[in-house]
Amino acid sequence: MRVAVYYNNRDVRIEERPRPVIGPGEVLIRIEASGICGSDVFEAYRLPRAPSILGHEIAGVVEETGAGVTRFRAGDRVFATHHVPCGDCHRCRSGHPSTCETLRSTRFDPGGFAQYVRVPALQVERGMLALPDDLSFEAASFIEPLGCVVRGQRAAAFAPGQTVLVVGSGPSGLLHIQLARANGAARVFATDVHASRLAAARRFGAAAVFAAGDDVPARIRAANDGRLADRVVACAAALSALRQALTCVEPGGTVLFFAPADPGTELPIPLFDLWRDEVTLTSSYAASGEDLRTSLDLIRAGRARVGEMITHRLALADAARGFALTAAAADSLKVILLPQR
């Protein structure tokens, strides 16, 4: 089978690999759609493991099932997640399954940028969902990234009637905008450095958008009855964006750090101001099974217009171009690879 092998953001090669052989409890999926995630081009995270076959936002058709698999059969349309928690450890029992060591060690074989993928038994049991016939594979490939957004907004205690600022209007930022709107936010604002992404933020529900270089706190106050944002989501990891996020939160509000920064990155924190204003700082990582099921329901109900976010649909042979578009983070939004083309 054909696979796209990642060496770095400028070197992604199409190679031939044996089709995976499944064992008891496992499933072989023929991948029909595989989204390129911003984390796939996060070189500080990816290069130490290169060369590798990335890809974790997948949807497809069950090609084969192993002995003992009863929930799925060949021909079923499915979503699968690469990370699943054990459900039994202290972290899982305390409500933090995305920090489970099992979740962080589970993965696909060989990865989602391939024509076929072997799903290990634990993921089959805890991380596969049947897809309704009226949901496209492309839309289903958003279940994992939207699930991460669902988890993030739950961690930051989003609630109806709040004012929300999304810092960074890439794919994750646009999902945050849509989910906040769908769940009753009073106003949603957004920032970015690219005019095209600010326009996209407006299309997907932002009440007002601001260039990242503006006096964003002043712009928010002017548009929000003199107040800052109750919830701020940092979907960009540049230090300037993170510092800006801290200046835009209303007293009593919360800042959610959603985008990953390079390992070792340190951010000076205005501790006195945060203490005085009772500001909460939190973060989130990955998605639980509950988050993924919620994500599927949101997409199927049309509460997240994920199909409209796709700017590029590429054959697997064009994976290098897809990585370049995603790494540039400019005019493209979501790039979907179609491995069977």
Query: Mind listing the pLDDT tens digit for each residue in 255-268?
Result: 999 999 999 999 99
Q: For 284-297, what is the mean pLDDT? A: 96
Same structural domain for residues 223 and 291?
Answer: no
> What per-residue confidence (pLDDT) applies to 310?
98
Is residue 45 very low, low, confident or very high in pLDDT (cuts 50, 70, 90)? confident
Same structural domain for residues 119 and 175?
Answer: no
Q: For 153-165, what is the mean pLDDT? A: 98
For residue 295, what is the DSSP state? H
Same structural domain for residues 226 and 243?
Answer: yes
The range of the structural domain enclosing residue 308 comes to 2-147+287-338
Same structural domain for residues 298 and 273?
Answer: no
| Triad 216, 325, 18: Cα angle to 5° | 135
- List pLDDT tens digits, range 232-247: 999 999 999 999 999 9
Same structural domain for residues 10 and 125?
Answer: yes
Say what the pTM is. Answer: 0.97
Is residue 231 very low, low, confident or very high in pLDDT (cuts 50, 70, 90)? very high
Residues 6+ apart with CB under 8 A from 331: 194, 196, 311
Same structural domain for residues 143 and 291?
Answer: yes
Same structural domain for residues 28 and 141?
Answer: yes
Which amino acid would we find at residue 99?
T
Contact 314, 322 (CB under 8 A): yes
- List pLDDT tens digits, range 294-328: 999 999 999 999 999 999 999 999 999 999 999 99
Pairing of strands 27-35, 334-338: antiparallel
Same structural domain for residues 7 and 97?
Answer: yes
Task: State the total domains in the chain.
Answer: 2
Contact 64, 118 (CB under 8 A): no
Of the candidates 199, 196, 154, the one whose C-alpha atom is nearest the C-alpha of residue 291 is 154
> What per-residue confidence (pLDDT) applies to 331?
83
Which of 241, 266, 283 is a domain's end point? 283
Arithmetic mean of pLDDT over the chain: 96
In a domain, 152, yes or no: no
> What per-residue confidence (pLDDT) applies to 9?
96
Same structural domain for residues 206 and 251?
Answer: yes
Q: What is the Cβ-side half-sphere exposure of residue 185, based on CA atoms within 13 angstroms? A: 25
| Triad 295, 231, 233: Cα angle to 5° | 60
For 21, 22, 151, 256, 278, the CA distances from 165, given in Å and listed in that order, are 47, 45, 17, 10, 18
And the tokens for 131?
Answer: 């897809």
For 129, 184, 198, the CA distances from 227, given in Å and listed in that order, are 42, 18, 22
And the tokens for 8?
Answer: 């770095």
Same structural domain for residues 167 and 272?
Answer: yes
Is residue 44 very low, low, confident or very high in pLDDT (cuts 50, 70, 90)? confident
In a domain, 57, yes or no: yes
Computed on alpha carbons and rounded to an integer, the radius of gyration of the chain in Å comes to 20
Question: Tell me, what CATH number does 272's domain have?
Answer: 3.40.50.720
